[in-house]
């Protein structure tokens, strides 16, 4: 008998038919003798509608009331799934985040989980009951108000709950059947991975892969929660609950016998480049540039600095998300006097392509072969950043798919 947390995203609970399909997935695990808790998202599109209601009521609205409104989507889904399970003869009860309770910070709209008391869920397990929990939400202990965890927060809820109840694994059911070496829509030969290390998955998620939320993977890595990414659209009756589940296991790298040099290729088209030209090369200049950006809550990613031959001036180039591009330009222009730059050059049509793999730690020349292969295909590299298990390249957006396909083939990821 295993203790499982099963999480179902918005596309998996989009309507009553799909909710009933989810109920059959849950019943399969219960019938196999497993203790089960389920975390659900709002029905597909429901959160967007609730957000629109808030904006229609007032463009500048109270974030505390915003959380109250948008958290209701998961409340509906949890109740409906509990009803569907009861119709199949499975004892089930819905729980909201504040009833567990999932205690969070008071940063409404993007709260962080501080503590979860898993005793109520353990009591459900011991009573043979399935707990159906509304994801994406919690409660601030001091104010007693509902909070939400940000988009994709149900993944975080599920992994945190799995850690709190010491679950054997956390199954993330979604509309894909696992984690792939890259986006199959760009590279049809992309392969589903059987296993991927937490660190690799964290890099892939933060660099453009949309399978899971970054914070949920961080939690899994911190608490060593084994996570399976699998499809909710597989027929429940075709899956043997006593065998390893179909999909991709995200786990500690010690569980992976032999690492490939490169595990996957991630990419993001949501990038923009800003280059500040002829800045005085003196102490404090970086703070003068990035301090105002931080104050404006603008995240900066790739940073490249080039010092002039005489050592007096420098060019400093960095990237931001496309959504922050205009605000970032305006912020830098506003700080022109304190920075003292000669010119601001920008580019909005750029993409970031990243090569990821823990095997890079023990192999030399991985990046050099990528530079050579891209040069042969006429792809110019604007900027490069590296870490122990990945390197990222900034290129013109028009070459994104060509670059991804070239690198995917270069590292043998096409091979089954």
Same domain for 365 and 233:
no
List per-residue pLDDT tens for the chain, 416 residues long. Answer: 899 999 999 999 999 999 999 999 999 999 999 999 999 999 999 999 999 999 999 988 999 999 999 999 999 999 999 999 999 999 999 999 999 999 999 999 889 999 999 999 999 999 999 999 999 999 998 999 999 998 889 999 999 999 999 999 999 999 889 999 999 999 999 999 999 999 999 999 888 677 888 899 999 999 999 999 999 998 998 898 888 888 999 999 888 877 788 999 999 998 999 999 999 888 888 999 999 999 998 999 899 888 877 778 889 999 999 989 999 999 999 999 889 998 999 999 999 999 999 988 878 889 999 999 999 999 999 999 988 899 999 999 999 999 999 999 999 998 76
pLDDT at 260: 82
Same domain for 139 and 20:
yes
Same domain for 164 and 33:
yes
pLDDT at 194: 93
Residues 6+ apart with CB under 8 A from 149: 104, 110, 111, 112, 113, 136, 137, 138, 156, 157, 215
- What token pair was written down for 383? 């900027």
Annotated binding site for substrate: 47, 74
Closest CA to 412 of 271, 307, 287, 265: 265
Please indicate, yes or no, if residue 310 is contained in any of the structural domains: yes
The domain total for the chain is 2
Annotated binding site for ATP: 7-10, 174-175, 180, 185, 210-211
Please indicate, yes or no, if residue 38 is contained in any of the structural domains: yes
Report d(CA 174, CA 212) in Å as an integer. Answer: 9
Same domain for 167 and 31:
yes
Which residue range is the domain that position 268 belongs to?
A: 264-411
Report d(CA 395, CA 392) in Å as an integer. Answer: 10
Same domain for 236 and 332:
no
Same domain for 359 and 269:
yes
Longest dimension (CA), the chain: 79
Helix (H) or strand (E) segment spanning residue 356: strand 343-356
Please indicate, yes or no, if residue 149 is contained in any of the structural domains: yes
Please indicate, yes or no, if residue 257 is contained in any of the structural domains: no
pLDDT at 60: 85
Closest CA to 178 of 211, 137, 141: 211
User: Cβ distance 137 to 148 under 8 Å?
Assistant: yes
Same domain for 185 and 130:
yes
Annotated binding site: 7-10, 47, 74, 174-175, 180, 185, 210-211
Residues 6+ apart with CB under 8 A from 91: 85, 127, 128, 129, 130
Closest CA to 220 of 252, 192, 194: 252
Please indicate, yes or no, if residue 259 is contained in any of the structural domains: no
Residues, the chain, total?
416
Same domain for 334 and 274:
yes
pLDDT at 217: 94
Q: What is the CATH number of the domain that holds 397?
A: 3.30.2130.10
Residue given tokens 């031959």 in the structure block: 309
pLDDT at 169: 94
Report d(CA 177, CA 182) in Å as an integer. Answer: 13
Please indicate, yes or no, if residue 386 is contained in any of the structural domains: yes
pLDDT at 212: 85
User: Cβ distance 208 to 271 under 8 Å?
Assistant: no
Closest CA to 11 of 246, 176, 133, 240: 176
């Amino acid at each position: 008998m295993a203790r499982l947390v099963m999480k179902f995203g918005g596309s998996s609970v989009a309507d009553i038919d799909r909710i009933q399909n989810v109920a059959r997935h849950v019943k399969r695990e219960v019938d196999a003798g497993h203790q089960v808790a389920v975390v659900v998202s709002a029905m597909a599109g429901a959160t967007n509608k609730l957000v629109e209601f808030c904006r229609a009521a007032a463009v500048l609205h109270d974030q505390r009331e915003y959380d109250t409104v948008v958290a209701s989507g998961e409340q509906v889904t949890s109740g409906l799934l509990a009803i569907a399970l009861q119709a199949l003869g499975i004892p089930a009860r819905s729980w909201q985040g504040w009833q567990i309770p999932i205690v969070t910070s008071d940063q409404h709209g993007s709260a962080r989980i501080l503590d979860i008391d898993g005793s109520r869920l353990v009591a459900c397990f011991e009573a043979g009951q399935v707990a159906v929990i509304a994801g994406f939400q919690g409660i601030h202990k001091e104010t007693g108000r509902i909070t939400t965890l940000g988009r994709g927060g149900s993944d975080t809820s599920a992994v945190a709950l799995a850690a709190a109840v010491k679950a054997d694994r956390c199954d993330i059911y979604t509309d894909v059947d696992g984690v792939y070496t890259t986006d199959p829509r760009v590279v049809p030969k992309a392969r589903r991975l059987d296993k991927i290390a937490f660190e690799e998955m964290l890099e892939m998620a933060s660099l453009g892969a949309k399978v899971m939320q970054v914070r949920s993977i961080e939690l899994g890595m911190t608490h060593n929660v084994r996570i399976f990414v699998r499809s909710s659209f597989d027929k429940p009756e075709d899956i043997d609950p006593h065998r390893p589940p179909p999909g991709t296991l995200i786990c500690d790298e010690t569980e992976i016998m032999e690492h490939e040099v490169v595990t996957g290729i991630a990419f993001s088209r949501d990038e923009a480049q800003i280059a500040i030209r002829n800045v005085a090369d003196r102490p404090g200049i970086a703070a003068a540039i990035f301090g105002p950006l931080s104050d404006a809550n603008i995240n900066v990613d790739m940073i490249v600095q080039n010092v002039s031959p005489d050592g007096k001036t420098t060019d400093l180039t960095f990237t931001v998300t496309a959504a922050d591009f205009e605000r970032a330009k305006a912020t830098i222009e506003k700080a022109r006097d304190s920075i003292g730059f000669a010119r601001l050059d920008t580019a909005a049509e750029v993409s970031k392509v990243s090569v990821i793999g823990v095997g890079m730690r023990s192999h030399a020349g991985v990046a050099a072969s990528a530079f050579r292969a891209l040069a042969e295909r006429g792809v110019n590299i604007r900027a490069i950043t590296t870490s122990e298990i990945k390197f990222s390249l900034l290129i013109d957006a028009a070459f994104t798919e060509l670059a991804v396909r070239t690198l995917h083939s270069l590292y043998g990821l096409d091979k089954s």
